[in-house]
Structure 1
């Protein structure tokens, strides 16, 4: 939480003091899938840069931040999922960009720490479509794919593994059976920031950038998308990379791949899964929305 406090205050020195030597900061990279690969050196392209050394990231923030956000950018923590050597903090950010546009993003920050409690890596999942629109300027991002990710499957709770095994073969009945009747699904909303507010009902007709929707509506939209022929593969094959469980919340980092009529889909996700004895009560899905918009033809 100290990291979010320092980020909120704009204290780059405070951020540096919380990090171990050699620490890194990752943000996904939109159409440049190679540039956002966890295992590759990032592009350094602001704000969607892949893996950067923490020193370089903070130097970039020091150079560009004051001009980009003259009055600062608030960071408000919402929920925490804590593990032994890692934690996830959900955050809402708000600021006014130098262009006059309002920046209102929702984040899932994943922190890995060493034995002394120093941060060794930060992975920042956010609405990349909104970030690029407000902060990224007009610079074009090159398109690329990762030929072979090379990451071994990680461990995840059985229910999470079951979720994505069902989805990979397009079995939405089995997928839906894992949820409670009143479950919800949230994903951020790209250009329409109001629709993606975490405590407001979204709009499934705007899929895939829909905000909070009932799981029954989400499943209906997923069935329609599969039936439309948008997928050349059965659906999205998701590989959990690791999970962090804390009481009723499970945070899962994962990668997903599919072959679409428009090209190869390769996303990286953070899911916050709200577990109940009767099933999954809610999912918050953080992923690279700019990659989705670019591949599916939505305005970027």
Structure 2
């Protein structure tokens, strides 16, 4: 794979994270492959494997977005590393919990696979205990 292709994949991921921060569903849909998959680590209600664009957007992304106060979600990109069709993004997610009203700040490391200028798979790692405490009010919140 060429350097230009790796750069294009990095830009694809940048655009995707920006669209997630805006909750721009049409943009997210345009950036995902029809057969896209998403896996979220942990044992949260939204953790697990989502198969196909409708499941990724309708079942996962909307459920996750509903955990935040409207307009509070944002992502601060820290690092991007790419090789061939894979981009690894390290970023900080910020917002305010819809249920708790508490501030949310979590570090993410997400592995994106890209194919034909679309995101074809996502594997997302984060501090799920923090998610539970702030967004679901579990544990010692």
Q: What is the TM-score with the length of structure 1 in the denominator?
A: 0.39
- Normalized per residue, which structure has more helix? 2
Give 1:225 shift: 5.2
Say if 2:24 is the partner of 1:171: yes
Higher Cα radius of gyration: 1
Say if 2:107 is the partner of 1:268: yes
Q: Relative to 1, partners in 2 of residues 1:244 and 1:190: Cα closer, same or farther, differing over 3 Å?
A: same
Write out aligned runs for 1:147-186 (5 A).
157-186=10-39
Give 1:296 shift: 2.3
Give the whole-Å Cα distance in 2 for the aligned partners of 1:290 and 1:284.
Answer: 18
Q: Across the two proteins, how many residue pairs are aligned to each other?
A: 127
Q: Relative to 1, partners in 2 of residues 1:224 and 1:189: Cα closer, same or farther, differing over 3 Å?
A: closer
Give the whole-Å Cα distance in 2 for the aligned partners of 1:189 and 1:232.
Answer: 23
Counterpart selection for 2:95 from 258, 266, 273:
258
Unaligned runs of 5+ in 1: 1-155, 192-205
Q: Relative to 1, partners in 2 of residues 1:164 and 1:246: Cα closer, same or farther, differing over 3 Å?
A: same
Give the whole-Å Cα distance in 1 for the aligned partners of 2:127 and 2:121.
Answer: 20
Q: Deviations over 1:59-109 (max 9, x none)?
A: xxxxxxxxxxxxxxxxxxxxxxxxxxxxxxxxxxxxxxxxxxxxxxxxxxx
Q: What is the TM-score with the length of structure 2 in the denominator?
A: 0.79
Higher relative contact order (CA 8 A, sep 6+): 2
Indicate conservation of the 8 Å contact 2:36/2:56, yes or no: no
Indicate conservation of the 8 Å contact 1:184/1:212, yes or no: yes
Q: Relative to 1, partners in 2 of residues 1:233 and 1:245: Cα closer, same or farther, differing over 3 Å?
A: same
Q: Over the residues paired in the alignment, what is the CA RMSD in angstroms?
A: 2.1
Indicate conservation of the 8 Å contact 1:244/1:250, yes or no: yes
Counterpart selection for 1:279 from 110, 115, 118:
118
Unaligned runs of 5+ in 2: 1-8
Indicate conservation of the 8 Å contact 1:170/1:235, yes or no: no
Moved over 4 A (4+): none
What secondary structure is seen at the aligned counterpart in 1 of 2:14?
helix
Give 1:278 shift: 4.2
